[in-house]
Chain A
Amino acid sequence: GAGVSQSPRYKVAKRGQDVALRCDPISGHVSLFWYQQALGQGPEFLTYFQNEAQLDKSGLPSDRFFAERPEGSVSTLKIQRTQQEDSAVYLCASSLPPYQPQHFGDGTRLSIL
């Protein structure tokens, strides 16, 4: 399909494990965003890429969270030493810059046991 693709759709990990979440943006979309959505809450901004440059990472909750987009296309969000409070849906969105609407993927539902 032509939309934003995220994988895996579901991820269960034990506390302390590292996880990696993948986002394939819409082809040609320069801007890429990661959000965290806790149960019953709206999405919260984590980080923003323009091409391969990470221009804003102010929303990353701790240094356990790391995002990259090395070739300006696919992005990976990595969470090290996961904690139970990391359980949430992680949404990726992409857009044409700078103010075009963001298109969201289905998200990865992360559960930390």
Chain B
Amino acid sequence: RKEVEQDPGPFNVPEGATVAFNCTYSNSASQSFFWYRQDCRKEPKLLMSVYSSGNEDGRFTAQLNRASQYISLLIRDSKLSDSATYLCVVNMNTGFQKLVFGTGTRLLVSP
């Protein structure tokens, strides 16, 4: 079983739609959680950290459920520029950020 699992998609949505991605992780000792965005043939970039209390950044909302070992990302009012791969990322380590990435979920937003 992979340490971080995501539906690879692709998710095809029209502009303005709301889309949600889910992710599960296997190690209950995981320390911190993130969503990264990766455009085609580009480097991953941090989108947002994920907290148990839930956090929002504009059109993006992230949630963490430690009991279920489940992380989510909600994108409201999708834009064409949101088309990318969204990587669920877990930090397994206490000494430094030893990041474990999911395979990513591909989002395609169409006009």
Q: Which residues of A contact B (CB under 8 A)?
A: 31, 33, 40-45, 48, 50, 55-56, 91, 95, 97-102, 104-107
Chain A proximity mask over B21-45: 1 for CB below 8 Å, otherwise 0: 0000000000010000000001111
| 8 Å CB contact of A104 from B32, B44, B97, B98 | B44
- State the main secondary structure of chain A at its contact with B: loop
Interface residue from B32, B95, B101 paired with A42 (Cβ < 8 Å): B101
Q: Which B residues fall within an 8 A CB radius of A?
A: 4, 8, 32, 42-46, 87, 89, 91, 95-104
Query: Which of A40, A97, A107 sits near B96, CB closer than 8 Å?
Result: A97
Known A-B contacts A41-B103, A42-B87, A42-B104; A48 and B98 likewise in contact (beta carbons under 8 Å): yes
Chain B positions within 8 Å of A42 at CB level: 4, 87, 89, 101-104
Known: A41-B103, A99-B32. A91 touches B43 (CB 8 A): yes
Does A55 contact B96, Cβ atoms closer than 8 Å?
yes
B46 touches A101 (CB 8 A): yes
- Distance in Å: Cβ of B4 to nearest Cβ of chain A: 8
